[in-house]
Amino acid sequence: MAIYTEKVMEHIASPRNVGVLEDADGVGTVGNPVCGDMMKIYIKVNGDRIDDIRFQTFGCGAAIATSSILTELAKGKSLDEAMAITRDTVARELGGLPAQKMHCSNLAADGLHEAIRDYQARREGQE
């Protein structure tokens, strides 16, 4: 079984920013339940900053921990800064992830990028 860092375990034990943002400005969904990992990232944008962020995740420990830490990393960031957060950033912040978890469960950054694109698409729709 995968061995996780203390930081990963800590996020699994008490994940941050779990839940739904009812009035989200952007939502990103990645993965699927057949693969065993699926997540949804909700963002609230103020100006060009991410004011609030929430996540929901179905998946293994790595999937939960990467979602949780991603919300911490993204909160308060500008959209450009948030777009620059990658899977590697997430893994690094957690003190590393087991090799076999890097691909299938490290989806949170993708989810965030999806949410930002969703926000941008909605804005373009309004203009």
Q: Which are the catalytic amino acids?
A: 35, 104
Between CA 24 and CA 36 the distance in angstroms is: 25
Q: Which two tokens stand for residue 96?
A: 């590393």
Over the window 6 to 35, marking each residue x when it contacts another protein by CB under 8 A and - when it does not, the resulting string is ---x--xx-x--x-x------------xx-
Stretch that binds another protein, among 37-45, 76-84, 85-93, 114-122 (CB under 8 A): 37-45
Q: Is 40 in the site for another protein (CB under 8 A)?
A: yes
C-beta of 2 vs 121, nearer to another protein: 2
97's CB contacts (< 8 A; 6+ apart) are: 4, 8, 62, 66, 91, 105, 106
Q: Choose the stretch contacting another protein; rule: CB under 8 A; options: 43-51, 57-65, 87-95, 106-114.
A: 57-65
Best CA proximity match to 51, nearest among 87, 16, 75: 75
